[in-house]
Amino acid sequence: MAKMEVKTSLLDNMIGVGDMVLLEPLDEDSFINNLKKRYDHNEVYTYIGSVVISINPYRSLPIYTPEKVEEYRNRNFYELSPHIFALSDEAYRSLRDQDKDQCILITGESGAGKTEASKLVMSYVAAVCGKGAEVNQVKEQLLQSNPVLEAFGNAKTVRNDNSSRFGKYMDIEFDFKGDPLGGVISNYLLEKSRVVKQPRGERNFHIFYQILSGASEDFLCKLKLERDFSRYNYLGLDSAKVNGVDDAANFRTVRNAMQIVGFMDHETQSVFEVVAAVLKLGNIEFKPESRVNGLDESKIKDKNELKEICELTGIDQSVLERAFSFRTVEAKQEKVSTTLNVAQAYYARDALAKNLYSRLFSWLVTRINESIKAQTKVRKKVMGVLDIYGFEIFEDNSFEQFIINYCNEKLQQIFIELTLKEEQEEYIREGIEWTHIEYFNNAIICDLIENNQTGILAMLDEECLRPGTVTDDTFLEKLNQVCATHQHFESRMSKCSRFLNDTSLPHSCFRIQHYAGKVMYQVEGFVDKNNDLLYRDLSQAMWKASHSLIKALFPEGNPAKINLKRPPTAGSQFKASVATLMKNLQTKNPNYIRCIKPNDKKAAHIFNDALVCHQIRYLGLLENVRVRRAGYAFRQAYEPCLERYKMLCKQTWPHWRGPARAGVEVLFNELEIPEEEFSFGRSKIFIRNPRTLFKLEDLRKQRLEDLATLIEKIYRGWKCRTRFLLMKKSQIVIASWYRRYAQQKKYQKIKSSAVIVQSYIRGWKARKLLRELKHQKRCNEAATIIAAYWHGTQVRREYRKFFRANAGRKIYEFTLQRLMQKYFLEMKNKMPSLSPIDKNWPVRPYLFLDSTHKELKRIFHLWRCKKYRDQFTDQQKLIYEEKLEASELFKDKKALYPASVGQPFQGAYLEISKNPKYKKLKDAVDEKIIIAEVVNKINRANGKATSRIFLLTKNNVLLADQKSGNIKSEVPLGDVTKVSMSSQNDGFFAVHLKEGSGAAGKGDFLLSSDHLIEMATKLYRTTLSQTKQKLNIEISDEFLVQFRQDKVCVKFIQGSQKNGNIPTCKRKNNRLLEVAVP
């Protein structure tokens, strides 16, 4: 069986009524209660057919995430809960798939969330359309145009911290694939009066505060601005800071957005210079002066501000100063120049500031359009987004409210026309008979305002152009004459007697009965605001500026293009713009978003019934519902209708095999719904009364509960059967495992019993065998003993005659053997340590073992000496060999020897290779140095000593100067015949040389050294190694030394020394040197 596809619907889990068309009963109270109920549950969107009602939640809700975008993407309009994304998706798919141009009209009063709604629409369209580098760039430019226009066109009001003070219409252009190509923005009626004056609690346009808060000090210096808001008269101080608004961060966002949209750096700089100039214009103040002719004129108090403005704009200071003081009127060939009093000068200043900012804003829109316009000339599809003021009813309503409400009348008119047209087209398309719908047509109100002969705007223009004295009162008087009989016009001064005593209507006001209610307008300011005059002198002064942007903003200031005609009035300009807008909207398929503000506190969770009721009335929402419900309140395609209600009929449940329309017909016939309550179209079912739909929903709800009970019953049965089968399967598994366990236990028990029986049997057999073996062994032993005794008896009989003769010798040998064994065992336990110098040895136990005892001692000593020597390295062996040689040469012969035993033989006492002092000596000797030592060479003449370096190499003996390192003598080892020294404790020794040798010319060497034993030993060993002859070492207290041709006796005597223990040498005569040794 195919799996049933479950679809969500607008009617599922509905809080209140999601579509006001289904509201029953339909009245103002139920309408408001339904909105409030949904608002309390965070449902801020509600439908009126295809119209979306949006209530500002004044907080962030998690319903605009990328996941929500994907949820509403390519879904039917009524398939999910009401959402602005559903309308955006419906409009985008109609444009992409059906090639229908779309427009989205967003209306509502200030603070209702119109700007945010337009952002959401644009962000949704940007998210669902195509991807790619060029497409992403276009989308980014379209989205980034919003921050720029908001900064220059939005302001903080008492009702909204980010109120749009202009109307905006954006046409977004798409290609055939639905990818954006570009866009065009149109702006309507910027509230430029806000530049010079703001109501209490409100701010000027955002950009002024953003520059002062976010610009760097260097940038402010270039613009000649200061960061303090209080320095500027055009900035209201009571609301300069807005909670939750970071003007500095927003300024950085605006600059970045301008860069993304495509503004060049010099263009951005020029824009901010104009803004700075507008800001500084407010600081220009005037003082009165009287002329000789008695006329009043004005002068600028402080010209420093004027100077800085001229530096910013590139205008000659005298030209601008004159433009603020004089006014030139031209008529044909005549020019008349008049002075301006203080009031007129202030008017001229404010008019210039308003015009400068208004024209800058229009230039910004034009510049943005240049950047975001489509670059290709292919046929384009268009989606328009209109974000414009809602209907305004204040305590004091003036010209601005009159214009805004006129625009809303036109929008209401086109809304009714297009809605009825859409309804009629759908009825015709579906083959449903169209019946005439009664509704209020506000064309009569639009005619009252815009009629070319008798309309209020036409009479206002006529009054402004009329020569003579023109005031607001004369305008009201003219209205009272022309419009007195109009049923939607009310005035105390009109000819209609029914308003003569209406005290709620002041004499200086008139009242119009709009479609949303009556609005009273104060006539004061109508004429001036409609004229919107800027003195020609100021236009010409601006055109003379060297600042390229300012010059471009005032083309009418060019003397070559002077036009003496009066410029069109504000009313006529707006009327033309509205007409163009209406013509544009009529070519597109409309989509409506009606924004409602729940409270005036800009706070979440507060729903003011009276305020919402007021907005419902002037938005005409009830009228909208009635128009929608005039024919059939609900319509739905056959497929989703059958899918939703098929469970109410046995023939259609669970699957209908035929066409969807046939299934719906069977379903409605089965339910016995009266035929007058529904009609079958070509693709949709039309239900006349909401009660019928709610009846279907109640039946569906009950049927779903029955089906849920059935499903629950089947599920519980299935669950119980599954549990039973599982338990049965488990029982079988458990039983099988238990039987296996029981058999294993039984087998183990039988096995253990068999093992025990076997062990007992084997034990019995083993014991029986053991007894037999023991008996056999005893028998064999008995036979052996008997045989032994018998053989012993026989042997004793045989050898008895020899025993007495050999008994003594045998006993002696046995005793001696036992003593030797005991001796060796005792020696084993009493052995001394392995140290060669340990002289301990066990005492001889028996006299007959004396020679053996000594020989063992000698052998043991030699053995442990060998063990000790085996531990030596080659270097240690060499050292001990030298020490042994020294012992053989000098032990018990030289008194100095015992002191040298403990001293190691180092040889190289002078580090010749490392010491840079001996570098010369090292370079001269290329052989390995065996010993290097400082010795004292004895002078033969006086016995005094001279320090010399004694070097012994492999082949030579060398003497070198200690200071210079020069070699004094070099003797080959073959020429050394003998070394003589005394037996006393001194370091004197003589080196005897071979007679006739080359080194013996100066005779033998008499030297003294602290390392005599080492030097003599090494000299002896080296000579023996090289010459294979032993060097004669003579030890005597008197010996002869050859000095040149003479032989001198060196005699060693005992005596006390003045120098302590140091031996001294003295020359006694030519033949005797006496060495005194302590």
Token pair listed for 150: 């908001």
Q: Mapping DSSP to helix (H, G, I), strand (E, B) and coil, where does residue 980 land?
A: strand
Question: CA-CA distance, 776 to 689, in Å (whole number)?
Answer: 127
50 φψ region: left (φ > 0), alpha (ψ -120 to 50), beta (else): alpha
* 663 annotated active-site: no
Q: Of 120, 185, 121, 182, whose CA–CA distance to 149 is shortest?
A: 185
Q: Omega into 1063 within 30° of 0, i.e. cis?
A: no
828: enclosing H helix or E strand = helix 690-829
Question: CA-CA distance, 21 to 627, in Å (whole number)?
Answer: 10
Backbone angles phi, psi at 655, to 5 degrees: -135, 135
* 730 annotated active-site: no
Spot the catalytic one: 390, 557, 631, 965. Answer: 390
Let me know the angle formed at the C-alpha of 796 by 791 and 797, rounded to the nearest 5 degrees: 95
Alpha helices in 332-398 (DSSP H): 342-372
What's the one-letter identity of residue 606?
I
Spot the catalytic one: 9, 160, 589, 591. Answer: 160
Spot the catalytic one: 46, 50, 115, 569. Answer: 115
Q: Could you please report the per-residue DSSP string of 1034-1060?
A: EE-SEEEEEETTEEEEEEEEE---TTS
* 1023 annotated active-site: no
Alpha helices in 391-455 (DSSP H): 399-430, 443-450
User: Residue 1072's Cα: distance from chain center in Å?
Assistant: 104
Contacts 24+ apart (CB under 8 A), 575-582: 575/406, 575/450, 575/457, 577/186, 577/188, 577/189, 578/188, 578/406, 578/407, 578/410, 581/169, 581/186, 581/188, 581/386, 582/410, 582/414
799: enclosing H helix or E strand = helix 690-829
Spot the catalytic one: 392, 423, 463, 933. Answer: 392
Spot the catalytic one: 18, 111, 183, 214. Answer: 111
Provide the pairing of β-strand 589-596 with 102-107. Answer: parallel
Q: Are 305 and 284 in contact (CB under 8 A)?
A: yes
- Give me the residues paired with residue 976 across strands: 993
* 390 annotated active-site: yes
Q: Which residues make Cβ contacts (< 8 Å) with residue 957, sequence separation at least 6?
A: 950, 951, 970, 971, 973, 976, 991, 1019
Query: Cβ of 245: how many Cβ atoms within 10 Å?
Result: 16
Question: CA-CA distance, 1038 to 1074, in Å (whole number)?
Answer: 9
Q: Mapping DSSP to helix (H, G, I), strand (E, B) and coil, where does residue 337 land?
A: strand
Burial of 228 (0-12, 13-18, 19+ CB in 10 A): exposed
Compute the half-sphere exposure of residue 787: CA atoms within 13 Å on the CB side of its CA. Answer: 6
Question: CA-CA distance, 448 to 475, in Å (whole number)?
Answer: 15
Distance separating the N- and C-terminal Cα atoms of the chain? 132
Token pair listed for 445: 């109100």
Q: Of 408, 388, 426, 404, whose CA–CA distance to 620 is shortest?
A: 408
Compute the half-sphere exposure of residue 163: CA atoms within 13 Å on the CB side of its CA. Answer: 25
Alpha helices in 620-686 (DSSP H): 621-629, 638-645, 660-671
* 65 annotated active-site: no
Spot the catalytic one: 9, 56, 110, 679. Answer: 110
Spot the catalytic one: 88, 157, 164, 325. Answer: 164
DSSP 319: H
Spot the catalytic one: 163, 213, 539, 692. Answer: 163
* 111 annotated active-site: yes
Query: Cβ of 949: how many Cβ atoms within 10 Å?
Result: 22
CA distances from 742 to 77, 137, 731, 738, 748 (A): 71, 82, 16, 6, 10
Question: CA-CA distance, 1018 to 885, in Å (whole number)?
Answer: 9
Contacts 24+ apart (CB under 8 A), 37-46: 39/598, 39/607, 40/605, 40/607, 41/15, 43/15, 43/16, 43/18, 43/81, 43/82, 45/81, 45/82, 45/83, 45/84, 46/16, 46/17, 46/18, 46/19, 46/20, 46/82
**Residues belonging to the active site:** 110-111, 115, 160, 163-164, 390, 392
